[in-house]
Amino acid sequence: MSHLEELSVNANARTWCILGLFALLVAFLGGASRSDAMQIALLRPLSALFMLTYLVQENRQENRKALPIGVFLGLAAILMAIQLVPLPPSVWHALPLGESIDQIDIVLGLEGVWRPITMAPSRTLNSLLSICVPIVAYALVYFNNLKRDDALFLIAGLVTVDSLLGLGQVLSGRNSPLYLYEITNRGAPVGIFANENHSTVFSVLGLLVFTRLGLSRFSGKNRAFFIAWFVIGFGLTLLAVLISGSRAGLALAGFSLLVSLIMFFLARIEKTPLNASSNRLLLWLSRADIVLLALIVSVAVMILLFFQLERTPAFADLSNHDPFANIRWQIGPILQNMVSDFWLTGSGIGSFEKVYHFYEPSNLLLPRYVNQAHNDWAQLFIEGGLPAAALILAILYWVIARIITLFRESSNAMMKLVFWTAILIVICSASIVDYPLRTPSFQVVTIWLLYALAVEPRPARNGKARARMRMPKSP
């Protein structure tokens, strides 16, 4: 039996070829958040072609545990479509900035023009078209009924590609041909992304995924192969984080390492027999995954050496003063004003850059401009208003409820609680100071993480006892 077959009895070689090709497509074309990136124009139609593999597939097996994710994506698309519906002047004049636009229309002789809710229809239409990528990512795993480790396996593969490409970019210099985007952080290990911060946060999630997979019980002769891959992948991913200039990423990497240690000790406690007395320590140390502990301790020492030798750019940046880096804090009051104006209907998904010009003060005019709020929570509220906030709260409620349910009713409850809570914290924290979820690659990985959470095994602890109680008595 091949290692692909061992991962899941439901995922055959053909399915894995399709998933692998789609993952590579997203990796090399979906790392930019800018709407004018040339790669995005190729990504969407090519992604749509993968939906054909589902339409022609026979014996599709849906996993209805993950259905809420599809509902969320559908409602998000409906919200953007509603924002594009033209409204009569009497309606949109009452919207924020409506009077200012009306005065401009009068000067241009455009009175009576019907306009949609969005202040930038082309940007909102672009956002609506872009949602096809996460929808395809969802459909490919949902209709193939993948298991949890299958989805995590896909993410680990993407993280490995990101880390190797990022290290290659640094080794080959600022003019390296390995950089995939024209507008990018040259000299930094951006990997498959255009933004260094996005790549670093992606790597932090990868550390958690590598640890979880490395602690899983892969059976058969290929277990050593997986353990070796996860150990090497973990080390390369952490190295990519250390040589990056992302301060938030460095902080989250420390958090990820701590969580990885906790997960390791939880795995050891669960697998060590309680009746082992004198040989308990020997048994504890004899497991093959002890290599993971050695790896985590080694990388902790490596971090200290990096700090001591001043080889960590993100740590050095803490003492530097970059005016543009601090602008994310300076625009805080502006974001509050925008939220207070657009909290009900929103300015239109994807319209932030255009609307920000109406609020931008002269003292913040710089050669580099603000194209995102660098606070995705505030930006989603500004662009989507109350409907977008309701959608986000709904999916967060589902995630938290799912984690609590797993903790209460599953085996390995503490492991699942720690892992999924850490994943949620990393994504939510990164979105406070940046916008990683604006990139198609990150969207796809987030959808696959949500899917893995949805299909996380949940065997009841007393299921066998309850089954025996329901059995009828013999005559």
pLDDT at 362: 77
Q: With pLDDT > 90 as the criterion, what percentage of the chain qualifies?
A: 44
pLDDT of 425-449, one tens digit each? 999 999 998 999 999 999 999 999 9
Token pair in block for residue 253: 């990497």
pLDDT of 370-397, one tens digit each? 788 889 999 999 999 999 999 999 999 9
pLDDT at 130: 94
Q: Mean pLDDT, the chain, as a whole number?
A: 81
pLDDT at 472: 42
Q: What separation, in Å, do the N-terminal and C-terminal C-alpha atoms of the chain show?
A: 45
Contact 328, 375 (CB under 8 A): yes
Choice between 469 and 24, residue whose per-residue pLDDT is larger: 24
Choice between 94 and 400, residue whose per-residue pLDDT is larger: 400
Exposed e or buried b for every residue in 98-114, given b needs 16+ CB within 10 A? Answer: beebbeebeeeeeeeee
Choice between 359 and 219, residue whose per-residue pLDDT is larger: 359
Q: Residue 28 pLDDT > 60, yes or no?
A: yes
| Alpha-carbon distances, residue 44 vs 55, 137, 182, 328, 440 (angstroms) | 17, 12, 19, 31, 10
* 406 vs 391: CA distance, rounded Å: 23
* 115 vs 90: CA distance, rounded Å: 10
Q: Residue 308 pLDDT > 80, yes or no?
A: no
pLDDT at 108: 79
pLDDT of 255-307, one tens digit each? 998 898 888 888 777 665 544 444 544 444 445 455 556 665 666 666 555 55
Q: Residue 141 pLDDT > 80, yes or no?
A: yes
Q: Residue 356 pLDDT > 50, yes or no?
A: yes
Provide the CA 50 distance to its chain's centre, in angstroms: 21
| Alpha-carbon distances, residue 171 vs 108, 176, 188, 199, 326 (angstroms) | 55, 9, 10, 17, 29
pLDDT at 191: 94
Q: Using 50, 70 and 90 to split pLDDT, how confident is the model at 89?
A: confident
* 192 vs 189: CA distance, rounded Å: 9
pLDDT of 156-207, one tens digit each? 999 999 999 999 998 898 889 999 999 898 988 999 999 999 999 999 999 9
Beta bridge partners of 87: 115
pLDDT at 80: 97
* 462 vs 475: CA distance, rounded Å: 26
Q: Using 50, 70 and 90 to split pLDDT, how confident is the model at 52?
A: confident
Token pair in block for residue 304: 């200290």
Q: Using 50, 70 and 90 to split pLDDT, how confident is the model at 475?
A: very low
Q: Residue 4 pLDDT > 50, yes or no?
A: no
Q: Residue 320 pLDDT > 60, yes or no?
A: no
